[in-house]
Chain A
């Protein structure tokens, strides 16, 4: 669209006081989104942020767009209805790991499966923040919290694996310490015609401080973050000395490039139909203490849900003409009484 007025970050910032704890990772995510929006060539009034409940879910209040702060876990469902009703809107869904993987897990799965045109940002801080520090479905086993004084005993979700398993067509990961990378991922999500899922490693400095520090601190990133770039061999390390291969068992494995040679490295193909390599990459790291891939895992276009629904409406009108109430009421056998 050429007639979209030029805006700045300030235009996308609402007049509401931001009420996250000082130092929360959510601030940098908010800034990244607000800085990105003027570049997206969209109107504020055509943009909607929808959230559930949790710290992350306060996000819509801070965006000077249309917004809805819903109920716990249900943001993808609320957004599905809006996106189906109004396919021309740009609908963003924002939530945390408890919101979208625990109470609302079902809706996340099904919005991804249906491929509704939503940009879904999951702020993963591996903890319940708003309820003051219980373990979450992404917390590591053994997590000691108020509700797990002896350590948690449940296996955590890997959000990227979950999304891929739910037939997601766009899956990416970023982290709150790298604004430019966040903006790149959010832009890709926006540009993708379908459900775009972005996991954001987000630091909760009050209840789970430093959860991702081992991989996202400036001095750790080169050796611990694996940037996935489409069409390129997957390499990382201070001197790009390490790489990722698919071993004979089909699993992804970190290797020294010197040992295997560059040609043995996995060339990342985000457009690959078969999600098994993307899934293998999602299993590369057992947690934020091992080298972990970030970037776009998968971007495979397929039919978008609201578009398909609209097509069926258009086809019905083409075949039967616009609805005629009088004719509908007389569509079954009738008889006259005089």
Chain B
């Protein structure tokens, strides 16, 4: 790949490596991280990622507010988090260094783009003196690399505009890191030529920068070793690297295929859910119809209208959108039609932290409608598991003719991990039976159709779609009589229907899997009880505590309404229960109310996920208490 003579540099083996790429919003750090991740995935490492970027598309250049970062952990063994403290920080400018240094492990490696450390940028970042020279980084291993200069130099004969050449410096950084950590370059080279096949000059510049980065590592005599993280020993099979929003979208497509019911998505763009709209808009050959609606309310209404027409109606949004959709979800509760409402949670209240993660919409999902309006809730717990969570939510919606809320969050949505692709033939059969004829005989012998006559087992009403002869009927949000569906305002009837709707949802507990329970199941002194994206950090933290000889179990709840039938026994079985959540204790409150146990909440509402170290320390704290 290069005409320079390779130096003989020793290679050291690492079990795991956490790299954090940081730069200005325009520096292409998400792309760089994503490419490093893909190369590592194809190499066979296990990995987990944490993209973090500002809400502004182009925040003021060079400022702390404009810093965009991407953290990835790669390992030779099964991991569940993007790592606590990075081992390596790549900082493309002073602001990135200043903002991200706090994350770096003590003694960690810093690789900076030296060219960006000029007076103006230092001032913008709030440095009084140049940190590269003032001794403030003495506790770290610092590599100063003139990335911009070298990138411009290698691009100068390519005919690329100087500005475009300069923009390729992220590929220089990627090349250097690829060399340093023995990442294969070919996947990135292939990606560049595919991505920029209509912009040959850009492709050339990026390729040249990548190669220059690798050559720099070999020739600069800065590095004494390169490092290697061997492929992880994972379950055999075919893997792909997937983020939560993609896996979730594919799960929706799978559900539609398994149910043989077309998918209809009504959606309004909102961070961090929009990528599901983008992905499903490309799946027209699967019969997926998408509507970018005029607002959040229209989006869910169109989905519900499509469900009335015999499609699987879906709406995707984030918390602010759910707030707007509440009335329509209530209508769906009353209409008893399938509807999937997907909330990719973000920081709130109000606009809050659009690009940051939080899981504080549980109570909104449980109670965010007027009246007694129960809705089943499913929560995804890892990026790839979003696929199965989507299928499960669709299964409940279709089988029980009810709106279902599926909770994911910004961390799952954008974070990625290797996914052992499932055998499609093992996916559940979700075949739906539509009503085809009358289901009730009047006293005078007339055969009629009653829209609210229920299946005795599922308590679901028939799904009779317009176009079916003999089944014309009217449904609406006004209280109705069970069976006939006729409007009925009588006190007894309302009381009956309210309880019926509650029981309908409660009854689903008979048809959901038992709680996931791991660790010292028989003799734990502490149960860590989680839901949603805390799964990765809890899993790591419990493992560390158990390695120290602590007796800890981990239960993770995927069905938040109704709760699994075994959950009461589980939370009562252990002396102590700790509930970590990215909210102020919403699930903990439900557990205390439902089961009268003294569960303790661990809350973190800072827009970033728990680290395993934080939870480990909480576990030890509770056990030593």
Contact = CB atoms under 8 A, between A and B. Distances in A.
Bind each other:
yes
A192 B331 CA distance: 30
Interface residues of B, number: 73
Given A16-B487, A80-B291, 16 more contacts: A63-B474, A66-B466, A71-B327, A71-B477, A77-B298, A80-B302, A82-B306, A82-B466, A84-B291, A309-B291, A323-B287, A330-B240, A330-B421, A334-B238, A334-B239, A335-B238
Contacts of B469: 43, 45
10 contacts: A45-B470, A71-B330, A71-B331, A313-B289, A319-B285, A328-B286, A329-B421, A334-B238, A336-B237, A336-B238
A337 B237 contact: yes
B38 interface: yes
Given A50-B305, A79-B305, A333 B241 contact: yes
Contact of B285 (A67, A316, A337): A316
A319 B286 CA distance: 12
Contact of B474 (A66, A74, A78, A325): A66
Q: Which of A48, A60, A83, A335 has the most CB of B within 10 A?
A: A335
A110 interface: yes
Interface of A: 14, 16, 43-48, 50, 60-61, 63-71, 74, 77-86, 88-89, 106-107, 109-110, 309, 312-313, 315-317, 319-323, 325-326, 328-330, 332-338
B487 A81 contact: no
Nearest to A315: B284
B304 A328 contact: no
Contacts of B238: 330, 334-337
Contact of A70 (B240, B242, B476): B476
Contacts of A69: 474-478
Contact of A81 (B187, B235, B264): B264
Contacts of A65: 472
A66 to B, nearest CB: 4
B497 interface: no
Contact of A332 (B241, B286, B486): B241
A329 B236 contact: no
B59 interface: no
B328 interface: yes
A333 B306 contact: no
Contact of A68 (B287, B308, B471): B308
A330 B240 CA distance: 7
A63 B476 CA distance: 14
A335 B291 contact: no
Contact of A45 (B239, B335, B471): B471
A276 to B, nearest CB: 25
A81 B301 contact: yes
Contact of B424 (A50, A70, A329, A334): A329
B297 interface: yes
B42 interface: yes
Given A69-B477, A323-B257, A335-B41, A81 B302 contact: yes
Contact of B239 (A68, A71, A315, A337): A337
Interface in B442-492: 465-478, 486-487
A336 B330 CA distance: 46
Nearest to B287: A313
Interface stretch (B206-214, B309-317, B397-405): B309-317
Interface in B276-300: 283-289, 291, 293-295, 297-298
A147 to B, nearest CB: 22
B303 interface: yes
Q: Which 3 A-B pairs have the closest CB atoms?
A: A69-B476, A81-B305, A323-B286
A82 B304 CA distance: 8
Contacts of A84: 264, 289, 291, 302, 306
Contacts of A316: 284-285
A320 B301 CA distance: 30
B122 interface: no
B302 A333 contact: no
Contacts of A322: 285-286
A311 to B, nearest CB: 10
B236 A338 contact: yes
Contact of B301 (A48, A74, A83, A89): A74
A319 B282 CA distance: 12
A325 B286 CA distance: 9
Contacts of A83: 305
B254 interface: yes
Interface in B497-556: none
A335 B186 CA distance: 14
